[in-house]
Amino acid sequence: MSEEKNEPLDFIRTIVSNDVANGCKVVTRFPPEPNGYLHIGHAKAICIDFGVAREFGGVCHLRMDDTNPTKEDVEYVDSIQDDVRWLGFDWEDKFFYASDYYEKLYEFAMEIIRRGKAFVCDLSADEVKEYRGNLTEPGKESPFRNRSIEENLDLFERMRKGEFPDGSRTLRAKIDMAHPNVHMRDPAIYRIRHAHHHRTGDSWCIYPMYDFAHCLSDSIEGITHSLCTLEFEIHRPLYDWFIEAAGATPHPRQIEFSRLNLTYTVMSKRRLLELVQGKHVNGWDDPRMPTICGLRRRGYTPEAIRKFCEILGITKTNSLSDIALLEHCLREDLNKRAPRVMAVMDPLKVVIENYPEGQCEELEATNNPEDPTQGERLVPFSRNIYIDRNDFMEEPPKKFFRLAPGAEVRLRYGYFIRCTEVIKDAAGNITELRCTYDPETRGGSAPDGRKVKGTIHWVSADHAVEAEVRQYDRLFSVENPGAEDNWLDCLNQDSLEIKKAYLEPELTKAVPGFICQFERQGYFCADKDSTPEKLIFNRTVALRDSWAKTQNKN
Ligand code: ATP
Ligand code: MG
């Protein structure tokens, strides 16, 4: 059922496929807290949650797990929806908020109290901590644990009415203070917070704890398979307990998988927020950020991200994935779709002395050799061109096949040119080259059969358009910055380099988001702030594929 591949199913799809065979109609959900922008780690969860539902004919809900009134914002809610849609997934009309269930959750809490399984506790936060014990020592029971059901119902109702200040009381589950799993030691269910909520306003001054709200929201929505990351495994007994104690049906089945971590990247929203607030990057969508909006602005495609998640697969062991694999998936995708253009980043002027002044001809250039349907375009050629400075060497080593004094090179889509003179300024810097061209070599070969080994890119200096090009490097200089105490000290100080480039005139038409390959250099994407008057390109990824290289070596 799962796609038409002959690969064995992963452990999640194996379970789901058995349940489907037994008549289950699959309902999954992706439940972000709207307290930050989504990142590539979330993309993995999204691909699994939505992917499994789609493959097994079910639906996937998008639910904002908005139980923390102070950290949430509509800005995040909107961006989450944009990002999920952009990744290629659809929740149909199944968009929900945990805050929609506040009344039901309150009723569940009342039911748990009526069953004698929850109590209102007057211990302070510090005392609760003290009473909890630790991994080796059992906790101590709260002196308020044995309040009568009537008293608990009364106090909880008054908590809701706002009679008590923040932090003065909590509603706690009555489970077992000696439980080996500390999450089971009478955890809090509700706390008092006189705080404004972005959706419910001031109608509540008590808020459910995440663990309580999360599992019961799943049940309320009829989720069949709660797919989540491994850190929730230890919470599962508590989720089971809440569902039983509240008498909620159905009882979703939780299955955990490992989180995605990437080299040279931090992934938690808290840290990403710190990068933004500390102005270490230019916002959530800075193209160096691992956020979905950052990757999008950088020129990543949803196809590349989905492919990456597919290759990673689903496992039960946390590990650090190589960012080079993500870049590899991107190159593979862009290689097929991105049109080629010529751009000169570090210009060296070349005057072709035997080409008539003022003349211009249009040379035919293939847009994408991988995709003939992309056709051809015309590139203007004239007496004055720019080439990249590093395609010329005055004293070339033996295997340098590009331009050098007296040497001949092929201009991409154009003619052979030969360097006849090197012009320098007073300080000895090369300022210009003089060349001749061979009119017989249009199209890239000589009728006399003579060969040139090198082909270089160029633009017509008389026609080129200027652009600002932003070249990015890894945001961090160490492989696992998240593991460092002073992770902010590991920021790569040279992660952004701004350059001026000369581009084919065609590129004035590039709209924001347009992705192309600058031949021999890499893939570039027109920035969201790019305009025909001021073109701005982000370097998406360089051409050199370190992932493919390491794979070939093995
Ligand atoms: P963060 O730790 O980055 O703040 P979070 O887990 O608190 O993330 P949520 O908004 O709660 O963020 O995440 C929504 C869903 O995305 C959860 O089900 C979570 O398991 C999943 N998720 C978050 N980070 C990753 C990751 N790195 N890899 C895979 N899934 C993830
Ligand atoms: Mg979280």
Where residue 74 sits, what CATH number does that domain have? Answer: 3.40.50.620
What pLDDT does 553 receive? Answer: 53
Question: Which atom of ligand 1 approaches the CA of 33 most closely?
Answer: 10
Question: Do 112 and 18 belong to one domain?
Answer: yes
- Asked if 241 and 312 sit in the same domain, the reply is no
* Cα–Cα nearest to 333, from 375, 376, 302: 302
Residue nearest to atom 14 of ligand 1 (CA): 32
Residue 262 placed within a domain: no
Domain boundary among 236, 257, 278: 257
107 and 195 in a common domain? yes
3-class secondary structure, 502: strand
Atom of ligand 1 nearest to the CA of 268: 3
How many CB atoms lie under 10 A from the CB of residue 220?
19
Q: Specify if 305 maps to a domain.
A: yes
Given a contact cutoff of 8 angstroms between Cβ atoms, the answer to whether 349 and 432 are in contact is: yes
**DSSP string computed for 119-130:** EEE---HHHHHH
CA of 316 to the centre of ligand 2 (A): 19
Distance 37 CA to ligand 2 centre (A): 12
The active-site residue, picked from 259, 412, 434, 528, is: 259
CA 491 – CA 478 distance, rounded (Å): 8
Which residue spans within 101-152 are E strands per DSSP?
Answer: 118-121
Residues 6 or more apart in contact with residue 308 via CB below 8 angstroms: 325, 326, 329
Classify residue 71: in a domain, yes or no: yes
Mutate to test the pocket of ligand 1, among 40, 42, 266 (most ligand atoms within 8 A of CB): 42
Q: Is residue 403 a contact partner of residue 391, using CB atoms and an 8 Å limit?
A: yes
Return the structure tokens found at 214: 């999360």
Single out the catalytic residue among 33, 327, 408, 504: 33
Tell me the CA–centroid distance for residue 220 and ligand 1, in Å: 21
259 annotated active-site: yes
Residue 374 domain flag: yes
Same domain, residue pair 147 and 44: yes
Q: How many domains does the chain divide into?
A: 3
DSSP 8-state class, residue 373: G
**Torsion angle, CA of 451/457/459/460, rounded to 10 degrees?**
-10
Give distance in angstroms: CA of 114 to centre of ligand 2.
30
Residue 503 CA: distances (Å) to CA of 186, 461, 513: 66, 9, 17
Q: Which domain holds residue 362?
A: 343-457
The pair of three-digit structure tokens given for residue 322, joined into one six-digit string: 């190589």
Mark whether 196 and 224 lie in a shared domain: yes
pLDDT score for 284: 97
- Atom 12 in ligand 1: residue holding the nearest Cα: 32
Is the distance from CB of 177 to CB of 138 less than 8 angstroms?
Answer: yes
Q: How far is the CA of 421 from the centre of ligand 1 (A)?
A: 61
Atom of ligand 1 nearest to the CA of 49: 18
Q: How far apart are CA 337 and CA 287, in angstroms?
A: 20
212 and 282 in a single domain? The answer is no
**How many A from CA of 486 to the centre of ligand 2?**
22
31 pocket-lining for ligand 1 (C-beta < 6 Å): yes
Ligand nearest to the CA of 270: 1
Indicate if 125 and 239 belong to the same structural domain. Answer: yes
Closest CA to 380 of 421, 404, 429, 414: 414
Q: How many CB atoms lie within 10 A of CB 265?
A: 26
41 lines ligand 1 (CB under 6 A): yes
Q: Three-state SS for 522?
A: strand
Give the pair of three-digit tokens for residue 424: 């320098």
In this structure, which ligand is nearest to the CA of 36? 1
Domain assignment present for 488: yes
For ligand 1, say whether the CB of 42 is within 6 Å of any of its atoms: yes
DSSP 278: T
Annotation says 33 is catalytic: yes
Pocket test for ligand 1, best of 229, 310, 480 (most atoms within 8 A of CB): 229
CATH number at residue 396: 2.40.240.10
Residue 449 lies in a domain: yes
The pLDDT assigned to 112 comes to 98
Are residues 165 and 180 located together in one domain of the fold? yes
DSSP-derived 3-state class of residue 528: coil
Residue 117 CA to ligand 2 center (angstroms) comes to 26
Show the tokens assigned to 2. Answer: 């799962």
**Do 370 and 498 have their domain in common?**
no
Read off the tokens for 491. Answer: 């920021």
Reported pTM: 0.94
Q: What is the per-residue pLDDT for 2?
A: 44
Q: Which of 195, 223, 257 is the last residue of a domain?
A: 257
- Give pLDDT, residue 241: 98
* Blockwise average pLDDT, block size 10, the chain, 554 residues: 66 97 98 95 98 98 91 88 98 97 98 98 97 95 98 98 98 98 98 94 96 98 98 98 97 97 95 96 97 98 98 94 97 97 97 97 96 96 98 96 96 97 97 98 93 96 97 96 94 96 96 98 98 97 82 58
Q: Distance between CA 16 and CA 322 in Å, rounded? A: 29
Clarify whether residues 87 and 175 are in a common domain: yes
DSSP letter for 459, please: E
Residue where one domain finishes, among candidates 430, 457, 484: 457
87 part of a folded domain:
yes
Asked if residue 48 and residue 138 are part of one domain, the reply reads: yes
Task: Look at residue 462 and tell me if it is in a domain.
Answer: no
Q: Is 190 helix (H, G, I), strand (E, B) or coil?
A: strand
Is residue 72 left, alpha or beta, with left meaning phi > 0 and alpha meaning psi from -120 to 50? beta
Q: Would the CB of 230 count as within 6 Å of ligand 1?
A: no
Residue 56 backbone zone (phi > 0: left; psi -120 to 50: alpha; other: beta): alpha
Residue 192 sits in the same domain as residue 246? yes
What is the β-pairing status of strands 59-64 and 458-460?
A: unpaired
Give the number of the atom of ligand 1 that is nearest the alpha carbon of residue 267: 3
